Structure 1
């Protein structure tokens, strides 16, 4: 039979079995991903006595395409705006939790006698939770609105980023066949440079390309071009020494910050579903059922490790970021299900020979056991967190409270520090520019080697290839180099100004200190470039010629380079701002902001809890009449109201998307942030229930509850009345107060005391 026909038949078998088994698992309330894995096991070459799929190699090749589109779709769900909304607490907790899981797995591997590479692969598998299972369990238990559940959902989203990083690092380590510290740090540095370079290039090119395609092509052509970009960037990631998933993920994140996200997400949904199913079925086909049976003890042991390590690491991360122990434990217990990325990491390790085949059994076994145990742990998370809080040693509790107080004080001092405000963004900007420049040099090296193979080293003149190539590259490289030096110059000036502000000889000291620091920085930058450039000692004279040419060009065209860099920097900042703005992330037309000749911007303003305008209609605010700007959207607890009506009311915590000029937005923001002068510090935790006895000579006797209006007067609600042997639950407003009534009231203790005095004669 023709090979093409056989492939069609094999693909049909894969789809049919995946659909049937996936449906069964869906009816059982389990993840369909686990069903796809089981489907792969059933039709795999090691399960049945005869082979249902004849050409498994082609299915494996097709699964790699599925992996790229699967990772791309995950990136589409994680924009810069969403990362920004998650907040520093969730981001920090995710990082701390990942580091703790890594070290716990290294300790576990040491006890098991495993190699460092095996421990790293286990850590990569355990660092990731299943967002699909977690969100489904939280919704079924009706606890998704709890703060601990929101933190758990935020962490499971960010763990996808952790998984991409681990997958990329493990791919690099497998290729160099080493896991030593020096190789790891080198890989981390190269990875950071590659990511920054790819993000900058995508921010500059991709939005323009998508705008052009939206105006001059059909949906079919746009889909083809975007799919080509995804595959091409995945290939670039592989050629750079990393995983194809890295490039696809970054491309997805960039597109998620544009107004084309929804269209592309809908278009690629079918591709993701089909190829994603093929990918997970292909993973199952590689698993031997006998291997799972022979390693049952290892599956149980690693399951116990997951049930301890993941909740412990996540809880400690959340506590370290200032959250209470109770909420941290509840969130940690919700994050036990192992994610889909675990299979990808296990597949990489087994296919490369870095880990034994038993890791496949561990990944599948962990997915099954944690998917079953997760609902039980989440259902009892509240009682378990209360137990942990009650039995927490006093010493640990006191230290935790002291640490949280110190964090609050540190945040206050950091926000109040003028030096921090002046330097923090510039330090981050300089670091990103250094990574971008490093990536330029790293990518130039393979191009240089290719050119050497094509024309030889002595093109035109002896060592002419070296001189010509690196001179041309150096002209392009001067722009980021000048940008780095300008930022460093500004940082040195600010720091020296702050250090010598109170010194009486500051006029003489400042230039001396600035010159000394700049000299040290110049030496460090020279060493940095020498480490990156591919020159040996015998070719240093060629490097000297190139450096002389670049110095001459830099001196002559300094101002032009500065202007070119400034325009490029402004463009990148605008791209990042647009990608991070709620407007583009939520579907508000980005074209309003990008339209040339129109000075329109979209900004987000959150109504404070004590806002003067909470409960009022948009019409009552009169923003357009007062400031000339409009509310084009409202983000209410994650639900977007696009183009709200003038009669829509506003509530505390609403995120208003305002459209207007920069001046109009600033005035409207100041107006909307106005709050009551009296700030109520009480929270839900201060609410309590108490009994109020109505004296026989109370002046309120005979009045109805509606006439007393205790809710508006004191913020106290009458939940019940005990009158002799009779109890009236949730009394109506027509119920009258009689002598000796016991009022069962709800409110804060202070408000209840005020209300008690109201009934006194």
Structure 2
């Protein structure tokens, strides 16, 4: 018999303990993450009642993979475009909460006599709220539709990005063991550079690749391709000097902009859950109960910072952003916990070997406590806001009300603000692209050529050709035309506007001069700039057209997901098909009339046939009731039928349906201009009764409506899609044409 490696035995132990604790915590209706942590405590080296993990180094490797999958999953939910849509309220609230909590956490560590690195990491650990825990609490409490919930979700997007920046800053500080301003600024600039480069290149290439490979991308291929991209970015991130987890997060956020993101999330979910469980179990394995007792004071203080300090800071931020007292307090009290990013920051300190042994267990203990308190904090926020409103001085209350009203009335940005924002984004993006092309050309083109008098000229010429369209965009893109025209018509603003235009042109000239200066003398660079300017003037129309094609492709890819979602919302009924199910006695729709199920409203599907023994009901009425062992034929799209199948918890029937499915079909017809149907509603026309069918779609102009409201009046040239008895529908259509 072969010997089973210790790592396999340890994995069996970890996953077995995790499985048991998952079931227990599901029964207790508590977060599964806490169950994983407790499972780690039970199989860890500090608890000897159960078997203990032996190959701890191997488990750490699995845990690092778990961090990668965890950050990849968070990136899939992040989306940089969501970041651009986050309002000022969420930005101010999150930055105020994160910034002040970081300072308080750092000062707590300093007061307790910790060294600088422990204090810095403690500040970072306490400052980032848990997206997963808040989402779960909002779902359980049913408050996702309330105004404060939207602000909190926006603030969490900002906090995720802040966490990424914090990881870079803490890594930089850890290497130098001190604050060095220049080094810190360089690290942040480098992060911004690579974020822009990776995001722009990812959006430009990935959706196109997915589109070209569409017919080959089955579930297996898409999963392998997505994970390969994830780990490729992990390697690139490490090569660039960032943490591997950051690379996983960035690739997830890039894929979040593609139409395949929902499918990728679904495919990766199981793998992410597996490795995530190993990661959180490994977190619990590092918990030393004796150390928790020894450091009970820091745990208590840190918990109070999160339960009292951060809610106050976030509330002040929301008030400053112009939110009413109630919304501000509800927002602040929702951000009173730490979770996955805090674990990752704590893990970073352990990996870099710059934090003390006690910091990690302290962070985990605080996370466990605040996870339990989160639902209560959110639930009590309404009562707390009412109490504060009643007890603050009337003068303060009136001032806050007037400030809130005044702030919310400022809804439109000025022309200058729009234009400056455009110029900053434009300059940042195209400067990054130009620098990247110049550096890549120097690194990868030069080695291919032998030293000769023509080598430098060829490299310079090719580099300038590659950056030409982006130099044009950097120098001459005007931005919002209305804002530009509005500012230009006011003479007082023409000077600053011209200064902006000249500065962009000067930056483009600098890039050209830099390319020449890199391979030639400064004097040659001056001549090269003049020659390049002449080339740009004579070829500007071609360069502009080429850039326009690049921009069109980029924007097409950038908005492809929104287009796909919009098309999905108005999915044509001819994309639907019939599927047959056999009802189990445990199904939740047993014993209910069709009218009570609201299947069209909830799932978008229609039951068109019910088979009960030897009896068949075609196009059942709303008062028909379903019974165990009924065989139902349902029409809908793949996504709708899958959702319906999951809801009724039944399996697709393996027996042959007794009814000839050819008796029921999907038909369409256009309403003539002289039809009696014009002006009538679907309900009053009695179309359903006369043709024994269900109207599943309506086309009007360029609009497509699936399952239209029965009270919509018909108009001339409407295209009606109806499913039902083929014979009855054909008779009905002949009568319509005869009477028109």
TM-score (norm 1): 0.68
Task: Determine the structure 1 residue equivalent to 2:429.
Answer: 436
Q: Are the equivalent residues in 2 in contact too, given 1:467–1:546 (CA < 8 A)?
A: no
Task: Determine the structure 2 residue equivalent to 1:629.
Answer: 702
Task: Determine the structure 1 residue equivalent to 2:491.
Answer: 500
- Indicate the RMSD between aligned Cα atoms, in angstroms: 4.2
27 and 132 in structure 1: CA distance in 2 versus 1, 3 angstrom threshold: farther
299 and 444 in structure 1: CA distance in 2 versus 1, 3 angstrom threshold: farther
Distance 1:38 1:544 in 2: 68
Task: Determine the structure 2 residue equivalent to 1:194.
Answer: 194
617 and 359 in structure 1: CA distance in 2 versus 1, 3 angstrom threshold: farther
Distance 1:584 1:483 in 2: 30
Distance 2:280 2:708 in 1: 46
148 and 555 in structure 1: CA distance in 2 versus 1, 3 angstrom threshold: closer
Using the TM superposition, name which of 533-542 and 86-95 deviates more.
Answer: 533-542
Matches within 5 A, 1:529-548: 547=529
54 and 513 in structure 1: CA distance in 2 versus 1, 3 angstrom threshold: closer
Shift, 1:358, TM fit: 2.1
Q: Are the equivalent residues in 2 in contact too, given 1:81–1:582 (CA < 8 A)?
A: no
Task: Determine the structure 2 residue equivalent to 1:8.
Answer: 8
Task: Determine the structure 2 residue equivalent to 1:554.
Answer: 536
Task: Determine the structure 2 residue equivalent to 1:603.
Answer: none
Q: Are the equivalent residues in 1 in contact too, given 2:128–2:342 (CA < 8 A)?
A: yes
SS in 1 for 2:355: coil
Task: Determine the structure 2 residue equivalent to 1:669.
Answer: none
TM-superposition CA deviations, 1:518-563 (whole Å, max 9, x none): 5555556667899x99989997568667656754653453332221
2:245 counterpart of 1:245:
yes
SS in 1 for 2:25: helix
Distance 2:241 2:569 in 1: 35
Shift, 1:13, TM fit: 1.9
Distance 1:473 1:82 in 2: 34
429 and 296 in structure 1: CA distance in 2 versus 1, 3 angstrom threshold: same
TM-superposition CA deviations, 1:364-405 (whole Å, max 9, x none): 111111122223323322222112222224454344234223
Task: Determine the structure 2 residue equivalent to 1:645.
Answer: 708
Matches within 5 A, 1:276-675: 276-411=276-411, 414=412, 419-420=415-416, 424=418, 426-440=419-433, 443=436, 447=440, 459-461=450-452, 469=459, 471-487=461-477, 494=485, 497-500=488-491, 518-523=501-506, 547=529, 550-551=532-533, 553-580=535-562, 583=565, 628-632=701-705, 643-647=706-710
Query: Which 5+ residue runs of structure 1 have no aligned equivalent?
Result: 503-509, 593-615, 633-642, 651-658, 660-761
SS in 2 for 1:77: helix
Q: Are the equivalent residues in 2 in contact too, given 1:31–1:132 (CA < 8 A)?
A: no
TM-superposition CA deviations, 1:584-631 (whole Å, max 9, x none): 6977779x9xxxxxxxxxxxxxxxxxxxxxxx99999xxx99960224
Distance 1:279 1:535 in 2: 51
217 and 526 in structure 1: CA distance in 2 versus 1, 3 angstrom threshold: closer
550 and 285 in structure 1: CA distance in 2 versus 1, 3 angstrom threshold: farther
Q: Are the equivalent residues in 1 in contact too, given 2:44–2:53 (CA < 8 A)?
A: yes
Shift, 1:145, TM fit: 4.2
Distance 2:19 2:124 in 1: 29
Query: Which 5+ residue runs of structure 2 have no aligned equivalent?
Result: 575-679, 685-696, 714-718, 720-740
Shift, 1:48, TM fit: 3.7
TM-score (norm 2): 0.70
517 and 157 in structure 1: CA distance in 2 versus 1, 3 angstrom threshold: closer
Distance 1:540 1:109 in 2: 53
Shift, 1:319, TM fit: 1.8
SS in 2 for 1:170: helix
Using the TM superposition, name which of 384-393 and 3-12 deviates more.
Answer: 3-12
Shift, 1:499, TM fit: 3.8
Using the TM superposition, name which of 317-326 and 101-110 deviates more.
Answer: 101-110
Q: Are the equivalent residues in 1 in contact too, given 2:22–2:35 (CA < 8 A)?
A: yes
Distance 2:440 2:183 in 1: 23
SS in 1 for 2:213: helix
Distance 2:319 2:505 in 1: 42
199 and 579 in structure 1: CA distance in 2 versus 1, 3 angstrom threshold: farther
Shift, 1:178, TM fit: 4.5
Distance 2:544 2:176 in 1: 40
Task: Determine the structure 2 residue equivalent to 1:58.
Answer: 58
251 and 489 in structure 1: CA distance in 2 versus 1, 3 angstrom threshold: closer
Distance 2:142 2:51 in 1: 45
Task: Determine the structure 1 residue equivalent to 2:121.
Answer: 121
Matches within 5 A, 1:706-745: none
Task: Determine the structure 2 residue equivalent to 1:733.
Answer: none
Q: Are the equivalent residues in 2 in contact too, given 1:101–1:123 (CA < 8 A)?
A: yes
Shift, 1:54, TM fit: 2.9
Distance 1:618 1:257 in 2: 39
SS in 2 for 1:262: helix
Matches within 5 A, 1:78-227: 78-79=78-79, 87-112=87-112, 117-156=117-156, 158-175=158-175, 177-227=177-227
Distance 1:435 1:617 in 2: 55
Distance 1:246 1:563 in 2: 37
Using the TM superposition, name which of 519-528 and 193-202 deviates more.
Answer: 519-528
Shift, 1:58, TM fit: 2.4
| Aligned residue pairs, count | 596
Distance 2:187 2:343 in 1: 23
Distance 2:516 2:179 in 1: 24
Shift, 1:300, TM fit: 0.8
Distance 1:288 1:275 in 2: 23
Shift, 1:361, TM fit: 1.6
SS in 2 for 1:380: helix
517 and 55 in structure 1: CA distance in 2 versus 1, 3 angstrom threshold: closer
Q: Are the equivalent residues in 2 in contact too, given 1:79–1:580 (CA < 8 A)?
A: no
Distance 1:2 1:395 in 2: 80
SS in 2 for 1:341: helix
Using the TM superposition, name which of 70-79 and 131-140 deviates more.
Answer: 131-140
TM-superposition CA deviations, 1:467-523 (whole Å, max 9, x none): 655553343223222211113699997586244179xxxxxxx6x887666555555
Q: Are the equivalent residues in 2 in contact too, given 1:257–1:584 (CA < 8 A)?
A: no
81 and 493 in structure 1: CA distance in 2 versus 1, 3 angstrom threshold: closer
